[in-house]
Amino acid sequence: MVTVVLAGIRAELTKIVTLRSTWIVTAAVLALHLLICMANLRQNTEAVATITPDGLIELFAGQPRPAYQAIVDFLVSSSFQMGLFLSVLAAVLAGQEFRAHQLGQSVLAVPGRGVLVTTKTVAVAAYLLTVSLVIAAISTAFMYAAVRGWDPAVVTSGGALRGQGRFLIFAVLSALVGYALTLLSRSTLIGIVASVALIAVTMTQALAGSAPALDALFPLSAGRNLLLNPADSRLTAGPVHALVVLVSWPSLTTAIAGLLLSRRDAR
């Protein structure tokens, strides 16, 4: 069984990296991140240059904060905002199965639906993790460029690494929801639309004020609750709750997608 699964993961990784749309979407996400980081670099460098003797920084005008924590928070937020786009990438990776009857070929090659979904999920998660690592590296490199004249070690401090680690967890788990929704709907477009709808619930703050417990059950809200500093952001749950929510969403949606795949005809 192990050799079957390993062979399946290898094949799924090949499917991912030999698809042109994978590279187009990946390049678009990374290019956008580079642009945003470049746009912020000058402002951050100037803010670092004016850190007060008592260690306060104004990354945002009129909001002085302790420099170390503010820089770490900004670094993590910088990565976090790009994590939103990984759901689109995940939907594209899953959606290839429903183009030109590839699902039929995949089932011929790996007829066990459980093995097929497992290997595909592991391969997609591995690819998303790789892209997320690149996003985190870009954030770190630009922040390093901004703080190197003050305290370059801040970007590799324990707080920064923990924050980036939480970002990686959020990025992979939340994007896997988009992947599973695409498998469920058998459509890249529906997968993307459903993912955007889930993100919109948090972005609009529609539930955060009136029903924070409900808001905390959405993936992006869980991401905020896991990554952001409660001193600066109105959060709706703690980090442990957030982690449970982030693990539950892809687990449940992928399990349902696998179940339906095994019960439906492969069309």
Partner 1 sequence: MIEVAHLTKRYGAKAAVDDISFTVPPGRVTGFLGPNGAGKSTTLRILLGLDRPDAGTALIDGRPYRELRFPLRRVGALLDGAGPVPERRAIDHLTWIAQSNRIPRRRVHEVLDAVGLGAVARQRVKKYSLGMGQRLGLAAALLGDPEILVLDEPVNGLDPDGIRWVRTFLRDHAARGRTVLLSSHLMTEMADTADEVIVIARGRIAAHGPLDEITAGHPSLESAFFALTGDQGPGW
Is 5 a residue that touches partner 1 (CB under 8 A)?
no
Site membership for partner 1, residue 19 (CB under 8 A): yes
**Which residue, 12 or 215, is less far from partner 1 as judged by CB?**
12
- Chain residues 182-221 in contact with partner 1, contact rule CB under 8 A: none
How, if at all, do strands 56-57 and 65-66 pair?
A: antiparallel
112/159 with CB nearer partner 1: 112
Q: In the block, which residue shows the tokens 């982030």?
A: 246
d(CA 179, CA 120): 10
* Closest to partner 1 by CB, 98 or 150: 98
Q: Please report how close the Cβ of residue 9 comes to partner 1 at its closest, in angstroms.
A: 9
Instruction: Give the single-character DSSP code of 235.
Output: -
C-alpha pair distances (Å), 168 with each of 31, 61, 122, 257: 19, 29, 15, 24
Site for partner 1, residues 72 to 101, rule: CB under 8 A: 96, 99-101
Total of residues contacting partner 1 (CB under 8 A): 30
- Residue closer to partner 1, measured from CB, 61 or 100: 100
H/E stretch holding 60 reads none
> In terms of CB distance, is 16 or 217 closer to partner 1?
16
* Smaller CB separation from partner 1, 11 or 129: 11
Q: For Cα atoms 125, 24, 200, give the angle at the middle one, nearest 5 degrees.
A: 65
CA–CA separation, 151 and 11 (whole Å): 45
Among the candidate windows 9-17, 142-150, 178-186, 217-225, which touches partner 1 by CB under 8 A? 9-17
Report in angstroms how near the CB of residue 86 gets to partner 1 at its nearest: 21
DSSP 91-117: HHHHHGGGSTTHHHHHHHH---HHHHH
Q: Is 263 in the site for partner 1 (CB under 8 A)?
A: yes
Q: Please return the burial class of 236, using the count of CB atoms within 10 Å of its CB with bins 0-12, 13-18 and 19+.
A: buried
Binding mask 25-54 toward partner 1 (x if CB under 8 A, else -) reads: ------------------------------
Judged by CB, which is closer to partner 1: 5, or 206?
A: 5
**C-beta of 254: minimal distance to partner 1 in Å?**
20
Return all residues near 135 (Cβ < 8 A) that are at least 6 apart: 29, 30, 33, 79, 82, 83, 167, 171
Question: For residues 79 and 173, is the Cβ–Cβ distance under 8 A?
Answer: no
Residue with tokens 């997320």: 132
Of residues 96-115, those binding partner 1 (CB under 8 A): 96, 99-102, 104-105, 107-112
Residue type, 145: A
Residues in contact with partner 1 by the rule CB under 8 A? 3-4, 7-8, 10-12, 14-15, 18-21, 96, 99-102, 104-105, 107-112, 263, 265-267
